[in-house]
Amino acid sequence: MDQLIQKGASLIGQAEKILIFTGAGLSTESGIPDFRSPGGLWDRYDPEEFYLQNIVSDDKCREKYWQVHEESYRVMKQALPNPGHIAIKELEQTGKLLAIVTQNIDRLHHRAGSSPDKILELHGTAFMIECLTCGRSYDRDVMVDRVRQGVKALYCDDCSGILKPATISFGQTMPEDKLTESFLHAQDCDLCIVLGTSLVVYPAASVPEQAVNSGAKLIIINLDITPLDSIADLVIHDSVGKVLGGIVDMVLERS
Identify which of 20, 167, 17 has the alpha carbon closest to the alpha carbon of residue 95: 17
Residue 60 is predicted with a pLDDT of 83
Contact 95, 73 (CB under 8 A): no
Residue 172 is predicted with a pLDDT of 86
| Helices 176-188 and 206-213, axial angle in degrees (round to 10) | 30
- Count the Cβ atoms, other than its own, within 10 Å of residue 92: 18
Identify which of 124, 114, 31, 112 has the alpha carbon closest to the alpha carbon of residue 78: 31
Contact 162, 131 (CB under 8 A): yes
Reduce the DSSP state of residue 128 to 3 states and report it.
strand
* CB-facing half-sphere around the CA of 230: CA atoms within 13 A: 1
- Count the Cβ atoms, other than its own, within 10 Å of residue 132: 15
Provide the mean pLDDT of the chain.
91
Sign of CA dihedral 62, 68, 71, 74: negative
Residues above pLDDT 70, as percent of the chain: 95
* 12-30 b/e (C-beta count within 10 Å ≥ 16 → b): beebeebbbbbbbbbbbbb
Contact 29, 239 (CB under 8 A): yes
Residue 54 is predicted with a pLDDT of 87
Identify which of 40, 51, 63 has the alpha carbon closest to the alpha carbon of residue 170: 51
Domains of the chain: 1-31+81-122+174-255 (3.40.50.1220), 33-78+124-167 (3.30.1600.10)
Enumerate residue ranges in the chain where pLDDT < 50. Answer: none
Residue 35 is predicted with a pLDDT of 62
Identify which of 149, 167, 185, 192 has the alpha carbon closest to the alpha carbon of residue 15: 192
Residue 43 is predicted with a pLDDT of 57
Contact 114, 100 (CB under 8 A): yes
Residue 42 is predicted with a pLDDT of 53
Contact 189, 211 (CB under 8 A): yes
Q: Does 185 participate in catalysis according to the annotation?
A: no
Per-residue pLDDT tens digits for 52-93? 888 888 888 888 888 788 888 889 999 999 999 999 999 999
CA distance 162 to 92: 38
pTM comes to 0.92
* Catalytic annotation, pick one of 69, 85, 109, 123: 123
